[in-house]
Amino acid sequence: MKRLMIFFLPLVMGFTACGDDEPQPQPLPTVQGGNGSSDNNENNNEPMDTKTISIRVGSQTLTMTLADNSSARALVDKLKEGDLTVNMQDYSNFEKVGPLGFSLPTNDTQITTGPGDVILYQGSNLVIYYDRNSWSFTRLGKIEGATSQNLLSVLGYSDVTVTLSIK
């Protein structure tokens, strides 16, 4: 009997020492949707009846095609209550940013923005990019036909007021 215990004891100790302290592999996160955004808010997942909104800057009107996520749907719901005016400031010569005055659900993913990307930052700020930036953001949509030059001609480098409305 002693021989059996001496034989099995190291095996049992070896099995116990192996499993508990080793880190277990974790599944990789998945990204849903073809536009690089994930929809982390399950409450507002119905299809949007509105696909574009207008962004008015002075006498110019830009058209934004909406992203397919709960953030864009919540923005459309707000716009159904009436137009939204946002006072925006230039930030680092590549974006305009302004407070919405309320929060929207976020769907942050690591993205690189380009001219015309409209982003929700920290759930309550609207950002319009006229150059590139890479960070974890929520995409709201993209201004159709936008280039750095034509956005700068409309937005300029100083403070600007924009009005969002349903087309």
Asked, for residue 22, whether it belongs to a domain, the answer is no
Beta-bridged to residue 119, according to DSSP, are 127, 139
pLDDT in tens, 81-117: 999 999 999 998 899 999 999 999 999 999 999 999 9
Asked, for residue 117, whether it belongs to a domain, the answer is yes
d(CA 140, CA 70): 9
Number of domains forming the structure of the chain: 1
Q: What is the pLDDT of residue 166?
A: 95
Q: What is the pLDDT of residue 143?
A: 98
Asked, for residue 41, whether it belongs to a domain, the answer is no
Q: What is the pLDDT of residue 8?
A: 46
Q: Count the helices and strands in the chain (H runs, E runs).
A: 3, 9
Q: What is the pLDDT of residue 49?
A: 76
Domain of residue 98, CATH code: 2.40.100.20
Q: Which residues in the chain land under pLDDT 70?
A: 1-48
Say which amino acid occupies 25.
P
Q: What is the pLDDT of residue 50?
A: 85
Asked, for residue 156, whether it belongs to a domain, the answer is yes
User: Which residue segment(s) compose the domain that 129 sits in?
Assistant: 52-166
Q: Which residues of 127-152 are buried (b: 16+ CB within 10 A; e: fewer)?
A: bbbbeebeeebbbbbbbeebeeebbe
Asked, for residue 8, whether it belongs to a domain, the answer is no
Q: What is the pLDDT of residue 40?
A: 41
Asked, for residue 105, whether it belongs to a domain, the answer is yes
Asked, for residue 24, whether it belongs to a domain, the answer is no
Q: What is the pLDDT of residue 27?
A: 31
d(CA 109, CA 107): 7
Asked, for residue 38, whether it belongs to a domain, the answer is no
Give the SS3 label for residue 53: strand
